Amino acid sequence: MVSMKDIALACDVSVATVSKALNNHKDVGEDTKVRIRETAKEMGYFPNSSARALRTNRSYNIGVLFVDEAQSGLTHDYFASVLDSFKVTVEKHGYDLTFINCNKDNKNRMSYLEHSRYRGLEGVIIACVPFDDLEVLDLVNSDLPVVTIDHLFDNRMAVISDNVKGISDLLRYIYKQGHRKIAYIHGQNTSVSRNRLVSFYKTVEELGLSIPDEYIVDGKYREVKHTQIMTNQILDLQDPPTCIIFPDDLSAVGGMNAINARGLKIPEDISIVGYDGISIASRIEPKLTTIRQDTKLMGRRAAEKLISLIEKPKSTLIEHIVIEGKLIEGKSVCKR
Amino acid sequence: MVSMKDIALACDVSVATVSKALNNHKDVGEDTKVRIRETAKEMGYFPNSSARALRTNRSYNIGVLFVDEAQSGLTHDYFASVLDSFKVTVEKHGYDLTFINCNKDNKNRMSYLEHSRYRGLEGVIIACVPFDDLEVLDLVNSDLPVVTIDHLFDNRMAVISDNVKGISDLLRYIYKQGHRKIAYIHGQNTSVSRNRLVSFYKTVEELGLSIPDEYIVDGKYREVKHTQIMTNQILDLQDPPTCIIFPDDLSAVGGMNAINARGLKIPEDISIVGYDGISIASRIEPKLTTIRQDTKLMGRRAAEKLISLIEKPKSTLIEHIVIEGKLIEGKSVCKR
DNA sequence: TAAAAGTACGAAAACGATTAAGTAACAAAA
DNA sequence: TTTTGTTACTTAATCGTTTTCGTACTTTTA
């Protein structure tokens, strides 16, 4: 590895001058600057991030905290897509992405916060984690710049999908197609689910609908098996609905199976809608009507805001950015 | 941030002694060791990875190179799943994962290799990239420990899915169900595709089948649109096949749409199979017959081997690990 | 009892960068 | 001519570790 010392030797100047030349300081002669720069390039010099980080306290490294059943959230379409966009944006700004180790059953492990400090992470994106976890709260309450996805903390940056508008749009669309008996299988008790549920009730009221309690059932995100059971439960009702809203696209696929197994036709016998707009939604038959969340924009805004928080903490407004989704009209809802 | 200096001060010993106590060197008194350890814990000490890396040349950081159309491979179910398992395993061994910046349109960007050196990465996992890219080759030909997924380089560690056995198993299964007219839409020209194709021809011969050229068509991985076109092309043949093998599960879903659109029934009118065994395969109707690749095992073995390569380079055998997939019998192939 | 060996620590250099402070050399202003 | 300023560098300290070498002291051995 060629270091500044090597360049200094080759150019017959001091290491300090090399550093200043490469960092474009004013107190280096123009000709020397050029000479040093060229030599550096020729010799294939690249800075040593550890040395730089040690001295300057800047690592240009951002942490990713994604913890799901599969340990990383990587296999979670929606979050993976947000992360992907986040990654592209931070890289444009010269930052790198490092996973925060979330292997909880290691002895002598560090907490998320400790690990972040150990690696000198300058900021953290948190998504897809149990937000009531003590370690997560520790991280959130630290002085580290943090941006959360789809969860709100006071005084912390957040980027969230507009679930209120999403559910409202979805419901109004279904209503417009003539449906009046609409069931809603909602996800586990998270802030996202709560927002959607509140929006559901509010829209129901605004539309003047009356939805029986049996139509609102506890479901789980991305759980095919469980969703099938809940779907059957709904279909077994004396007066079943004409449309079911599923917690997400994947579980909607699960629901479809239960419906198909009964010999019912979608959408003629029963209409369904999903949520997320992940790729699978448009690839199944019938094409699923759903809300496509703008994951690209979410990732980008999260990255921009986090970097702003890192680089100009004073002038960066802490805000909750709400990103609207878009209704994707498939073939899974029919006119009534 | 509390450093060794603080602990030294508190314990009234030198920094050297603190370091040695924490690293369990022999030349520190047992009682002093305990005292230092306890103080460190009390004060909430954690090492500074930059300082340590600078001094020891060990970063305990592994690079991830995933480049697909979406810039990261994260949204690629199969690879995301391998990466997830890889991540869990390296974390167990105390390593962290950092993405290698692959934002190609940055001026003044570093090459993959340069970036790896800049961050002091100790090894790299490469998957889901164009393996003929010059920068990738540069990285592969460097002295950095490298493990590739689903691609073979001489003298480099690789973990690959057993595509030869996979395609053979699939074909034999279809044959056993009574099919004789079998079409194969294969993926782009990569080593994976070539292996599969060779295995296809070999098995065809072993089974004594005779497959007309029109049954073998160029397809694309994970491309719904393109797959639909190719599927239609096949269905338009004078003598269409009774079963189609798709490049992967996702494109199989695309093919299903084309088939459904013609009013044909799966599997009665035409049988189909996919490849990968990603979650969607079991969630669609009819359940897709496919080869499930053992992504968990692939990720784990890749991690173990890479770490072994890092920690004991001399005694680690460079090998190509082949991981068998498993035939998942769905409902998309019927008896003939 | 003197020499050799072992134990428990400390001093200092090193890793590769950044930066405050210092210093020549020269030019411009008094 | 002296003073002041500017330019273009260098010196040296520093970040937080690790590690080699040295040293005082104690214990064992001849």
The secondary structure of chain B, three-state, reads CCCHHHHHHHHCCCHHHHHHHHCCCCCCCHHHHHHHHHHHHHHCCCCCHHHHHHHHCCCCEEEEEECCCCCCCCCCHHHHHHHHHHHHHHHHCCCEEEECCCCCCCCCCCCHHHHHHHCCCCEEEEECCCCCCHHHHHHHCCCCCEEEECCCCCCCEEEEECHHHHHHHHHHHHHHCCCCCEEEEECCCCHHHHHHHHHHHHHHHHCCCCCCHHHEEECCCCCHHHHHHHHHHHHCCCCCCCEEECCCHHHHHHHHHHHHHCCCCCCCCCEEECCECCHHHHCCCCCCEEEECCHHHHHHHHHHHHHHHHHCCCCCCCCEEEECCEEECCCCCCCC
Q: How many residues does chain A have?
A: 336
| Nearest CB to A257; choose among B44, B118, B285 | B285
Q: Is the pLDDT of residue B76 over 80?
A: no
- What number is the average pLDDT over the span B86-111? 88
Q: How far is A124 from chain B (nearest CA, A)?
A: 14
Q: Which residues contact A72 (CB under 8 A, 6 or more apart)?
A: A66, A99, A102, B83, B84, B87, B88
A227-241 pLDDT, tens digit per residue, is 999 999 999 999 999
Q: Is the pLDDT of residue A70 over 70?
A: no
Contacts of B87 in chain A (CB under 8 A): 71-72, 74, 99
- Which tops the pLDDT comparison, B79 or B201? B201
| Nearest CB to B120; choose among A49, A81, A280 | A49
Interface of B with A in 11-70 (CB under 8 A): 44, 46-51, 53-54, 59, 61, 70
- What number is the average pLDDT over the span A52-75? 82
- Specify the pLDDT at position A58: 97
- Give the nearest chain A residue to B228 (CA atoms): A283
Q: Which residue is nearest to nucleotide D14 (CA to C1')?
A: A55
Q: Per-residue confidence at A260, pLDDT binned at 50, 70, 90?
A: confident
B191-217 pLDDT, tens digit per residue, is 899 999 999 999 999 999 999 999 999
Q: Per-residue confidence at A73, pLDDT binned at 50, 70, 90?
A: low
Q: Which helix (H) or strand (E) holds A186?
A: strand A182-186
- What number is the average pLDDT over the span B124-144? 94
Tokens, residue A123: 């900021």
Which nucleotides of chain C does any protein CB come within 7 A of? Answer: 7-12, 14-22
Q: Is the pLDDT of residue A72 over 50?
A: no
- Specify the pLDDT at position B30: 94
Q: Which nucleotide is nearest to A30 (CA to C1')?
A: D8
Average pLDDT, chain B: 93
Q: Is the CB of A9 under 7 A from strand C?
A: no
- Which tops the pLDDT comparison, B250 or B49? B49
Which nucleotides of chain D does any protein CB come within 7 A of? Answer: 7-12, 14-20, 22
Q: Is the pLDDT of residue A284 over 60?
A: yes
- What number is the average pLDDT over the span B251-272? 90
- Give the nearest chain B residue to A261 (CA atoms): B285
Report CA-CA distances (Å) from A272 to A227, A233, A240, A248: 13, 15, 13, 11
- Specify the pLDDT at position B308: 97
Q: Per-residue confidence at A71, pLDDT binned at 50, 70, 90?
A: very low
Q: Note whether A92 contacts B83, CB cutoff 8 Å.
A: no
Q: Is the pLDDT of residue B66 over 60?
A: yes
Sequence-separated contacts (24+) of A232-235 with Cβ below 8 Å:
A232/A258, A234/A183, A234/A185, A235/A259, A235/A262, A235/A264, A235/A270
Q: Per-residue confidence at B73, pLDDT binned at 50, 70, 90?
A: low
**Angstrom distance, A51 CA to C17 C1':** 5
A139-156 pLDDT, tens digit per residue, is 999 999 999 999 999 999
Q: How far is B208 from chain A (nearest CA, A)?
A: 36
- Which tops the pLDDT comparison, A254 or A335? A335
Contact between A118 and A129 under an 8 Å Cβ cutoff? The reply is: no
What is the DSSP-derived secondary structure letter of residue A111?
P
- Which tops the pLDDT comparison, B282 or B54? B54
- What number is the average pLDDT over the span B248-277? 91
Q: Note whether A99 contacts B87, CB cutoff 8 Å.
A: yes
Q: Is the pLDDT of residue B40 over 90?
A: yes
- What number is the average pLDDT over the span B164-174? 97
Tokens, residue A92: 């444009």
Average pLDDT, chain A: 93
- Estimate to the nearest angstrom the gap between the alpha carbon of A194 and the chain centroid: 18
B52-64 pLDDT, tens digit per residue, is 999 999 999 999 9
Instruction: Check CB contact of A99 with chain B, cutoff 8 Å.
Output: yes
- Specify the pLDDT at position A105: 72
**What's the predicted TM-score (pTM) here?**
0.92
- What number is the average pLDDT over the span B79-87? 90
Rounded to whole angstroms, how far apart are CA atoms B88 and B299? 9
Tokens, residue B261: 């659109």
Q: Is the pLDDT of residue A179 over 90?
A: yes
Q: Note whether A71 contacts B81, CB cutoff 8 Å.
A: no
- Specify the pLDDT at position B68: 64
Rounded to whole angstroms, how far apart are CA atoms A68 and A46? 37
Interface of B with A in 256-315 (CB under 8 A): 256-257, 260, 279-280, 282-285
Q: Which residue is nearest to nucleotide D18 (CA to C1')?
A: B55
- What number is the average pLDDT over the span B65-71? 68
Q: Per-residue confidence at B71, pLDDT binned at 50, 70, 90?
A: very low
